[in-house]
Structure 1
Amino acid sequence: MIREPEHNQRPIPPAVQEAYGADDLGTKPIFAGGFINFGHWQAIDISSGLSHEDRVRSQQDMYRHILNALPPTEQRRALEVGSGTGAGTALALQEYGFAQITGMDIHPRQIERAQQSNSRLLAERPEHLGFVQGAAESMPFDDEEFDFLYSVEAAQHFSDLTAFGRETARVLRPGGHAVIASFFTTDDTPGHAERLAALLDCYANGLDLAHPVTHVVDALAQAGLTHIRAISIGPAVWQGWDRWINHVSGPDAWPRNFLRVHEEGILDYYVITATRPAD
């Protein structure tokens, strides 16, 4: 059973409050289709002109790549942490045969958008799909509620990785699996955060945090999770994302610096998998 968020729920960081508040990023050309991720472009020809359909598919394929990292999902219960407008949650339910899937997001406007955009699916399959407000560091669920936990391009916002790791271990059943995908710094070399803030507004304003990938791994390990692996999928992300930015924004748009900081060896995109040991 999903509990209502507690009154002491963590506050929404100001930059997150603003970014996901009045504007629906999922309607912007740079994202499109209700999804909000950089995209997995491996199956898309990025050498020629890109279309809206290519962009939507890249974001769908990001979800598929991440969900394919899980063991068989049929008739299992899953939690998406940072579910946004719910486009990926709906894809997971419809394509992967989950018995029940819950999308959780810290921002109430995103929960409203998810419920609105998935109103028909919620009406048709209310016992299989739900959305709830909650923070990654303080999840409003009972212990051992889920077989799987996954998160797509949200962990760069999490302010407390240790708390996120602890909550991930708590809500997973023994033998459950987690997969977290996002962009992180390649190591904890001093100066990475300053360099990112100098080149990318999303780091300068605090929306994205310069978490080293090793800190994410360490947080999961400290929580007792095992079989932790962090795998770069940068080759499938950065070039396609950069070409799409250029397609919709022009060559001087600031977000093209994502490719630049990747080429400098500062930032990469990772899929991190972990398991809660069976009792």
Structure 2
Amino acid sequence: MRSVVRETYGPADLSGEPIFAGGFINFGYWSAADLVAPLDEAVRVRSQEDLYRQVLGTVGPLGERTILEVGCGLGMGCALALREFAPAAVTGMDIHPEQLKRARDTHAGLLGREAARLRFARGAAEDMPFADGEFGAVISVEAVQHFPDLDAFAAQTSRVLRPGGRVAVAGFFTVDDAPGRPAELAGLLETYANGLDIARPVTALTDALTAAGLVDTRAESIGRHVWPGWDLWLSRWWAPGTWPRNFLRAYEQRILDYYLVTAARREDGERPTPRR
């Protein structure tokens, strides 16, 4: 585990910060929000739930599938998946032991009632502790910007998906591979300057998924549904020109965008020869 990830998600419960609310840790999908009216906590929580709904909706129908969430945090998305999408089972995986303890504590009652359908496990995106073909769907919501090796993540995702399984990843990437992008983002955003977020183009993920043998790989920009609402919510605590408000600035300057990336494993289970 990288030290900056350990420090950010370990000592304090980041999901307890008012900017996140509801136990989620994501920027939100705000298409249902009235961005002219004042935003309250209920609207904020819905934005975070709606981001999961967008992701889960791309890998369905889920009635007979088992789901793996990579980077599950407190497991709020896992609980939403069980509640609203009725999959066969959900596994939440996170690299951070303190996050997993919080997830198990938060959902102790649900774990008791749904012991056969919900579990939490420790593992890295690049080294998943699961059997080949164990899952019908793999999702990851706003964790991919922390993964140090997208090729390894893609290879592991392809390995644990069963034939016909699907993957959906929501996260933010640079809009292209111009060499100056990392420096631009480090100058605008503290999380890029300290290394918590890693600046890479979205093609780094789509190419990795394709090279790992997945097909129908697509990247859809959903930034228009993320950045304006997130910035308006941040304005409750942060003034214009402060670094968290620069996410919207980076989007408007066509440096950074938010994407929903999807792919599938072929029904016949075949994979190409790995690239060297």
TM bucket normalised to smaller: over 0.9
Q: Structure 2: which 5+ runs fail to align?
A: 269-276
SS for the counterpart of 2:235 is helix
User: 2:165 maps to what in 1?
Assistant: 176
Note if 1:29 corresponds to 2:18. yes
1:269 to 240, 258, 267: 258
Asked if 1 retains the 8 angstrom alpha-carbon contact of 2:29 and 2:51, the reply is yes
Asked if 2 retains the 8 angstrom alpha-carbon contact of 1:245 and 1:253, the reply is no
Asked if 2 retains the 8 angstrom alpha-carbon contact of 1:169 and 1:224, the reply is yes
CA drift at 1:46: 1.2
Note if 1:79 corresponds to 2:75. no
User: 1:6 maps to what in 2?
Assistant: none
Note if 1:111 corresponds to 2:111. no
Q: In structure 2, what residue type is equivalent to 1:243?
A: L
CA drift at 1:252: 4.7
User: 1:207 maps to what in 2?
Assistant: 196
CA drift at 1:247: 1.5
User: 1:235 maps to what in 2?
Assistant: 224
Q: In structure 1, what residue type is equivalent to 2:41?
A: H
Note if 1:188 corresponds to 2:170. no
Query: How many correspondences in the alignment?
Result: 268
Distance in 2 between residues matched to 1:71 and 1:64, nearest whole Å: 11
Distance in 1 between residues matched to 2:114 and 2:215, nearest whole Å: 34
Asked if 2 retains the 8 angstrom alpha-carbon contact of 1:138 and 1:164, the reply is yes
Asked if 1 retains the 8 angstrom alpha-carbon contact of 2:67 and 2:89, the reply is yes
Distance in 2 between residues matched to 1:76 and 1:133, nearest whole Å: 21
CA drift at 1:248: 3.1
SS for the counterpart of 1:57 is helix
CA drift at 1:250: 3.6
Q: In structure 2, what residue type is equivalent to 1:58?
A: S
Could you list the structure 1 runs, at least 4 aligned residues long, displaced by more than 2 angstroms after superposition. Answer: 248-253
User: 1:41 maps to what in 2?
Assistant: 30
Note if 1:92 corresponds to 2:119. no
Distance in 2 between residues matched to 1:88 and 1:236, nearest whole Å: 19
User: 2:132 maps to what in 1?
Assistant: 143
Distance in 1 between residues matched to 2:242 and 2:108, nearest whole Å: 35
Distance in 2 between residues matched to 1:247 and 1:59, nearest whole Å: 17
- Structure-2-length-normalised TM-score: 0.96
Stretch deviating more after TM superposition (260-269 or 67-76): 67-76
> Over the residues paired in the alignment, what is the CA RMSD in angstroms?
0.8
Distance in 2 between residues matched to 1:180 and 1:18, nearest whole Å: 24
Distance in 2 between residues matched to 1:90 and 1:211, nearest whole Å: 30
CA drift at 1:249: 3.1
Asked if 2 retains the 8 angstrom alpha-carbon contact of 1:29 and 1:248, the reply is no
Q: Structure 1: which 5+ runs fail to align?
A: 1-11
Distance in 2 between residues matched to 1:214 and 1:250, nearest whole Å: 33
- Structure-1-length-normalised TM-score: 0.95
Distance in 1 between residues matched to 2:18 and 2:60, nearest whole Å: 34
